[in-house]
Amino acid sequence: MLSREQELELIDTLRGVHPDEFGLDEELWTRQSLTTLIQRRFDLPLDPGAVGAYLRAWGLGPREPRERACGLCVSAVERWVRSDYPAITRAAQEHLAEVYWIGRVRLRGTMPAADVISAVSSRGRVRFMITTPTVDPPLPRDFVLRLSGEEQRTVHLIVDGSWPRNEWPRRLPRRIVLHPLPSCGRAIAAA
């Protein structure tokens, strides 16, 4: 197990950097790349399951669509899952694409505070980056492009209410398709 001091040091180390900057073969942080970094940095062999427990504690991992909605939008999200989501998954299958659910959570107990931007695939794979929070930051273009990877895979990204549409990256490649999750416009950043 990481001590609390090691965990805070790890969060600080991850802030604003990507795995490839540590010589790791990943575009964004994953459970496996984080496991490798912990081994290198702290000489601590943790299995991926233990690292997954840290990610869940940080608020990352699969969540039901209704958990991504504010209390006022739950019924709209449930309708959207029944009416719009099946078409998104069919389009993704046709393009051999992956579907990711993108959101943002605030890590409490870190100084300075940290935001974690994460994408969870429909298969449960978590990819993330840690940033220093700013007031209403836009959805980072770099994050969205890295989800597509060097192979330039087609991806369908479902964006929760953490970012209004006017804060989404503009002029993305056609292989990246953004879909808004219904939202009343309130930021869901703090979890």
Residue 191 lies in a domain: no
Tell whether 76 and 28 lie within a shared domain. Answer: no
Tell whether 114 and 153 lie within a shared domain. Answer: yes
| pLDDT of 191 | 35
Tell whether 114 and 157 lie within a shared domain. Answer: yes
Phi-psi map region of 171: left, alpha, beta (phi>0 left; psi -120 to 50 alpha): left
**DSSP structural state of residue 169:** P
Tell whether 18 and 88 lie within a shared domain. Answer: no
Tell whether 92 and 12 lie within a shared domain. Answer: no
Tell whether 80 and 46 lie within a shared domain. Answer: no
Residue 189 lies in a domain: no
**DSSP structural state of residue 41:** H
Place of tokens 């990819």: 127
Per-residue pLDDT 10s for the chain (191 aa) are 899 999 999 999 999 999 999 999 999 999 999 999 999 999 999 998 999 999 988 888 777 777 777 777 888 899 999 999 999 999 999 999 999 999 888 887 887 888 899 999 988 899 999 988 776 678 999 999 999 988 889 999 999 888 888 899 999 999 999 999 988 754 433 33
| pLDDT of 60 | 85
* Domain closes at, from 57, 76, 101: 57
Residue 190 lies in a domain: no
| pLDDT of 135 | 67
| pLDDT of 185 | 58
Residue 187 lies in a domain: no
Is the separation of the CB atoms in 105 and 161 below 8 Å?
Answer: no
Tell whether 42 and 25 lie within a shared domain. Answer: yes
Tell whether 75 and 53 lie within a shared domain. Answer: no
Residue 188 lies in a domain: no
Residue 186 lies in a domain: no
Q: How many domains does the chain have?
A: 2
* Domain ranges, residue 37: 4-57
Tell whether 43 and 133 lie within a shared domain. Answer: no
Is the separation of the CB atoms in 106 and 191 below 8 Å?
Answer: yes
